[in-house]
Amino acid sequence: MLKDSFGRIHDYLRISLTDKCNLRCTYCNPIDLPKGFFDGCTRMSAAEIENIAEVFVKEGVKKIRLTGGEPLVRRDAREIIERLSKFPVELAITTNGVFVHEFIDTFEKAGIRSVNVSLDSLKREVYHSITGRDEFDRVTRNIKLLLQHDFHVKINVVVMRDVNDMEVTHFVAWTKNRPLHVRFIEFMPFAGNQWDSSKVVTANEMMERVSAELDIIKLKDEPNATAKKYKVIGHRGSFAFITTLSNQFCNECNRLRLTAEGKIKNCLFGAEELDLLGALRKGEPLSPLIQQSVRRKYAAMGGQFEKGFEHTDANTLINRSMIRIGG
């Protein structure tokens, strides 16, 4: 069992398969990404991912989510999914949706039933401006494809003021005739993403906009849930808010992260990392390092944001860019 000094049990592992992506989303990638930014990094092989994941499962992990970058850009993504499917865990994936049509059979064979798709706008031109790529039609087609195959589909929307915040009610309306579960994520600061507190649209502000137009009911949230769920009366789908900045949920956190080069991060905002891949290649036991990392976990937000997000200077935060962490 992976229990930290605050009594929180960690049974959910997010594995970043790669820190590369075919999109260039502004909130994830450092602005003006320099040439060679991703070169020289040692990344886990498929077998090493399996070996490290096995240790986590033995330590009590019950759910594994594959992330990136974009996990499906790895040439051996299918092999990795197949290797991890043998473990007695819930296996899920977060993707930008561009290559989903090529992996439907792999997902079904591996028992993946939950797919999170990042989609930050329902307007092609806005989507293009955020991602730097013209993939809107393919992504929306693949969302429909997932629904046709009865996947549980969550849509991740990073909300940024004066960029896509005016679309919140449009996304909620999108759930009327579709069993989609839209999750609005408050814009978070990471290295190089030009974050400023004025760009944050809080969940309360978004809720005010939605409730002014629609009749809403609160849904029950699962244990350790990061999302606060709601539903418009009569709609097939639902929507939720991930309130990382305005209403932290750290006291119920059960998540650990493994970066693409095999470093364990015990918090999305934590600066501390331990090198599991290096230890694996030296033949050293991994369990003591994992336990050590969990014990060192801060009570909240990786020990940062002590003054609240409104008074936080992003330049003082010690962390990676989001693409280097994994979603």
| Three-state helix/strand/coil letters over 150-206 | CCEEEEEEEEECCCCHHHHHHHHHHCCCCCEEEEEEECCCCCCCCCCHHHECCHHHH
Nearest residue to 167 via CA among 176, 154, 158: 158
Q: What angle do CA 121, 127, 129 make, to 5 degrees?
A: 135
37, pLDDT greater than 80: no
Domains of the chain, first to last: 12-152+251-325 (3.20.20.70)
Q: What is the pLDDT of residue 321?
A: 83
Q: 193 is written with which tokens?
A: 């993403």
For the record, the structure tokens of 267 come out as: 């918090």
CA 284/CA 237 separation, integer angstroms = 47
Number of residues in the chain: 327
Is the pLDDT confidence value at 192 over 90?
no
What is the rounded radius of gyration, in angstroms, for the C-alpha atoms of the chain?
Answer: 19
Let me know if 275 is exposed, middle or buried by CB neighbors in 10 A (0-12, 13-18, 19+). middle
Angle at 114 between CA 259 and CA 130, to 5 degrees: 60
- Residue 236's Cβ-side half-sphere holds a number of Cα atoms within 13 Å equal to 10
> Which pLDDT belongs to residue 203?
97
Residue 322: which H helix or E strand, with range?
helix 322-325
Determine the straight-line distance between the first and last CA of the chain, rounded to whole angstroms. 24
pLDDT value for 35: 56
Q: Quick check: 173 and 239 in contact, CB under 8 A? A: no
Give, as one character, the DSSP assignment of residue 12: E
Is residue 38 scored above 90 in pLDDT?
Answer: no
What distance in Å separates the CA atoms of residue 154 and residue 182, rounded to the nearest whole number? 6
pLDDT tens digits, 73-115: 999 999 999 999 999 999 999 999 999 999 999 999 999 999 9
- The pair phi, psi for residue 320, each rounded to 5°, is -85, 175
Phi-psi region of 7 (alpha: psi -120 to 50; beta: other; left: phi over 0): left
CA 135 to chain centre: 20
Mean pLDDT confidence for 210-239: 96
Cα dihedral 299/65/21/198 (nearest 10): -40
pTM given for the model? 0.95
